[in-house]
């Protein structure tokens, strides 16, 4: 849901900035690479130190590149399979950095193996949720499902609550640190539910596709698995 409505809103807001970058000769791929590098740096430099507020500020600045690069590609008429592949691949890198940085904090000064494991689960489950859709589409299925917690929801929940938790570690505001574990539990449970939703959807769509009549091959014979060519 967030991915649908928030993306449309910010796309309109960022259109003038995307147009400016194009006039300056910046390519969409360069924006994708710089944005991912900024997110990775913000997560892996600040989060392991417990500087959640500044980490979230840095990540938020760069995470909008995910909207700007696509906007630039559409405006310039240079949308391509390579650009879509690069963008999707680096999204996975950025997500891994966010949860990897939190896992490093809990493995070190955060001193909680449970929350470290939970952050790793959020990292892994997010990757698998994305993979299920990509794999389903690669075998010709629509994977027509809106999951409970998709990438946009995972990022918003994690970054907002982590940033608020940072007010305790950075500015000494009490009782807000509990929001970080809350974020991880919500994302973990939501990702698990979303994974089940997508697996069930792919299974249903695959069964329907396999049961559909196959078009007859030229000459009146039907080509099937193990049948005559």
What is the Cα–Cα distance from 106 to 99, expressed in whole angstroms?
11
Other beta carbons less than 10 A from residue 120's beta carbon: 17
Cα dist from 93 to 41, 67, 86, whole Å? 11, 16, 11
Around 182, how many Cα atoms within 13 Å sit in the side-chain half-sphere? 13
CB 105 within 8 A of CB 180: no
Which own/partner contact pairs does 60-63 have at CB distance under 8 Å and 24+ positions apart? 60/159, 60/163, 62/34, 62/35, 62/36, 62/37, 62/38, 63/35, 63/39, 63/94, 63/155, 63/159
Residues marked active site are found at 91
**Would you say 190 and 184 are in contact if contact means Cβ atoms under 8 Å apart?**
no
């Amino acid at each position: 849901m967030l991915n649908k409505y928030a993306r449309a809103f910010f796309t309109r807001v960022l259109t003038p900035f995307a147009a400016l970058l194009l006039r300056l000769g910046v390519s969409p791929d360069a924006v994708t690479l710089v944005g991912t590098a900024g997110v990775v740096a913000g997560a892996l430099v600040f989060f392991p130190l417990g500087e959640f507020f500044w980490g979230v500020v840095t990540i938020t600045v760069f995470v909008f590149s995910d909207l700007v690069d696509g906007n630039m590609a559409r405006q310039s008429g240079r949308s391509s399979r390579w650009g879509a592949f690069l963008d999707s691949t680096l999204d996975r890198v950025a997500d891994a950095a966010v949860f990897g940085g939190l896992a490093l904090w809990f493995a070190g000064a955060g001193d909680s193996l449970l929350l470290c494991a939970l952050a790793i689960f959020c990292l892994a489950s997010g990757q698998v949720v994305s993979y299920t859709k990509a794999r389903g589409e690669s075998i010709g299925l629509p994977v027509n499902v809106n999951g409970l917690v998709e990438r946009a929801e995972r990022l918003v929940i994690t970054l907002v609550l982590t940033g608020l938790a940072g007010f305790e570690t950075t500015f000494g505001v009490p009782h807000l640190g509990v929001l970080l574990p809350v974020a991880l539990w919500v994302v973990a449970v939501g990702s698990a539910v979303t994974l089940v939703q997508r697996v069930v959807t792919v299974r249903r769509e695959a069964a329907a596709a396999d049961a559909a009549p196959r078009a007859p091959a030229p000459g009146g014979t039907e080509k099937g698995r193990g049948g005559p060519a």
